[in-house]
């Protein structure tokens, strides 16, 4: 969950001079500041629905008192957009962000730090929607503005670095992401102190990167440190605590530590439902992850309604071609596959693959996952000719994106080798199995 968004008040200078004509404007400025302070407090508490009426009132006051092109209006638009964004209401958020950016550029100049803030928030919106090509140039511009205006060690520079790394991570560009994450973390620890929530954010993002690279031993202590920071700083029921819990649960889940993972997934889901409402994309993610745990344990009846609800939320909130919809489709298909309901699984796998290829590009690791799963479905039905080219392509993608020694590469090698043995090609299967075994032994150490 990309983070780094913030509600930074832009306060216009108030000139005190003789004459009653300026008093109403001064009073409106104070009223606007008070409303913005309330919005900021509610946002920080994760109470987004409660904050929206205050943000709308602040916008009304700003437009009526200062004019439609004033920086106070830009800030009010930005704050309202942040609240909609946090609730998954992306269509409502985008025009507000764009108008806020246009006002800031005109009023402050194109290289002002507050322009970078507007760019940053629009980047995060596009990230949430899977629009990575639109997000990257805005992110780079935001970073360049901040480094020039604030210096290379400012916390806002860390935010832009973090968000650019998130874009690369989402596209499977892990080598590009890691140094940006590390630089962001170092800046935040030095500037904000080791127990600041933004430090936890940097830690969580490194956790996800290491997790996807199969570096579980590196990920776990960072995740635990992040969780401790967030619980202390934000309280046990904040949405960011739910995110850290979810990530730690997923780390245990992928290592087969189901007893440790289950309670963390459930606590994460309860926090998100209470804080964000039952139809938020983060709730869909949490449902999906808990269902995956149930599937791995053979609890199919418990998993299916969670997956169907997750899919419905994702389609409604994000649109039918978002990568998160592909994930939900893939996981529901996997559940049917586990129950040998192949006819129900196949169209879901195909739709998941089509979405992933369109949204992420043909060489993304998530495309490899969809290819692998569709190949497994064909293989289970004895359709070896249909399965083999999918296995080959999945293996090539994983080797290129993740490196030759990643656990996911071992999994593809094992799956392909199993097909080769089914078609009596043992001589081809044996070196693949040996390579997979060596990869797994390396990670076990």
Map out the domains of the chain with their CATH numbers.
278-361 (1.25.40.10), 371-445 (1.25.40.10)
Q: Provide the pLDDT confidence category of residue 361 given band limits of 50, 70 and 90.
A: confident
Q: What is the mean pLDDT of the chain?
A: 89
Stronger pLDDT, 124 or 143, i.e. the higher one: 143
**Rounded mean pLDDT, 115-139:** 89
Please determine, for residue 312, whether its predicted confidence score (pLDDT) is greater than 50: yes
Tell me, what's the pLDDT at 128? 78
Contacts within 8 Å (CB) and 24+ apart, 301-308: 303/335, 304/332, 304/335, 307/331, 307/332, 307/335, 308/332
Contacts within 8 Å (CB) and 24+ apart, 142-145: 142/116, 142/117, 143/116, 145/111, 145/112, 145/113, 145/115, 145/116, 145/119
The tokens of 133 are what?
A: 């090509």
The tokens of 174 are what?
A: 């892990």
Model confidence pLDDT, tens digit, residues 162-205: 989 989 988 888 989 999 999 999 999 999 999 999 999 999 99
Stronger pLDDT, 87 or 218, i.e. the higher one: 218
Model confidence pLDDT, tens digit, residues 419-436: 999 999 999 999 999 999
* The overall pTM is greater than 0.75: no
**Rounded mean pLDDT, 128-134:** 83
Please name the residues in contact with 85: beta carbons below 8 A apart, sequence gap of 6 or more.
5, 93, 121, 124, 125, 128
Task: With beta carbons less than 8 A apart as the criterion, state whether 198 and 192 touch.
Answer: yes
Please determine, for residue 222, whether its predicted confidence score (pLDDT) is greater than 50: yes
Most confident of the ranges 10-24, 118-132, 307-321? 307-321
**Rounded mean pLDDT, 20-37:** 75
Q: Provide the pLDDT confidence category of residue 10 given band limits of 50, 70 and 90.
A: very low
Please determine, for residue 152, whether its predicted confidence score (pLDDT) is greater than 70: yes
Please name the residues in contact with 75: beta carbons below 8 A apart, sequence gap of 6 or more.
8, 9, 10, 36, 62, 100
Stronger pLDDT, 9 or 325, i.e. the higher one: 325
Q: DSSP 3-state assignment of 363? A: coil
Tell me, what's the pLDDT at 16? 26
What Å distances lie between residue 196 and 110, 124, 162, 235, 350, CA to CA?
Answer: 30, 21, 15, 13, 44
Dmax over CA atoms of the chain, in Å, equals 95
């Amino acid at each position: 969950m990309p983070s780094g968004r913030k509600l930074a008040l832009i306060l216009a200078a108030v000139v005190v001079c003789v004459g009653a004509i300026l008093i109403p404007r001064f009073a409106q400025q104070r009223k606007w500041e008070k409303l913005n302070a309330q919005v900021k407090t509610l946002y920080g508490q994760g109470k987004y629905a409660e904050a929206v009426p205050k943000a709308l009132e602040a916008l009304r006051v700003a437009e009526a008192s200062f004019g439609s092109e004033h920086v106070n209006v830009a800030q009010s638009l930005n704050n309202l957009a942040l609240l909609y964004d946090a609730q998954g209401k992306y269509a409502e958020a985008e025009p507000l962000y764009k108008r806020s950016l246009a006002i800031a550029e005109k009023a402050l100049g194109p290289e002002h730090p507050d322009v970078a803030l507007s760019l940053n928030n629009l980047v995060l919106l596009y990230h949430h929607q899977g629009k990575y090509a639109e997000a990257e140039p805005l992110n780079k511009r935001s970073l360049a503005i901040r480094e020039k205006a604030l210096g290379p060690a400012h916390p806002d520079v860390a935010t832009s670095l973090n968000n650019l790394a998130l874009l690369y991570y989402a596209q499977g560009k892990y080598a590009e992401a890691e140094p940006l994450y590390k630089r962001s973390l170092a800046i935040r620890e030095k500037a904000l102190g080791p127990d600041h929530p933004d430090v936890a954010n940097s830690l969580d993002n490194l956790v996800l990167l290491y997790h996807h690279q199969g570096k579980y031993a590196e990920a776990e202590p960072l995740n635990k440190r992040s969780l401790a920071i967030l619980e202390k700083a934000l309280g046990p029921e904040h949405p960011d605590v739910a995110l850290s819990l979810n990530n730690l649960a997923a780390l245990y889940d992928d290592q087969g530590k189901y007893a440790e993972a289950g309670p963390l997934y459930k606590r994460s889901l309860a926090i998100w439902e209470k804080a964000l409402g039952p139809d938020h994309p983060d709730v869909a993610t949490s449902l999906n992850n808990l269902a995956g745990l149930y599937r791995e344990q053979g609890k199919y009846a418990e998993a299916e309604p969670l997956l169907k609800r997750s899919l419905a939320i994702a389609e409604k909130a994000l649109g039918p071609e978002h990568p998160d919809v592909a994930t939900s489709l893939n996981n529901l298909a996997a559940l049917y596959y586990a129950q040998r309901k192949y006819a129900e699984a196949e169209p879901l796998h195909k739709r998941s693959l089509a979405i992933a290829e369109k949204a992420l590009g043909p060489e993304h690791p998530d495309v490899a996952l969809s290819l692998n799963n569709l190949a497994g479905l064909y293989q289970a039905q004895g359709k070896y000719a249909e399965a083999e080219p999918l296995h080959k392509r999945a293996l090539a993608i994983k080797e290129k994106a993740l490196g030759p020694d990643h656990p996911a590469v071992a999994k593809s090698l094992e799956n392909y080798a199993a097909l080769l043995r089914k078609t009596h090609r043992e001589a081809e299967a044996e070196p693949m199995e040996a390579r997979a075994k060596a990869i797994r032994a390396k990670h076990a150490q």
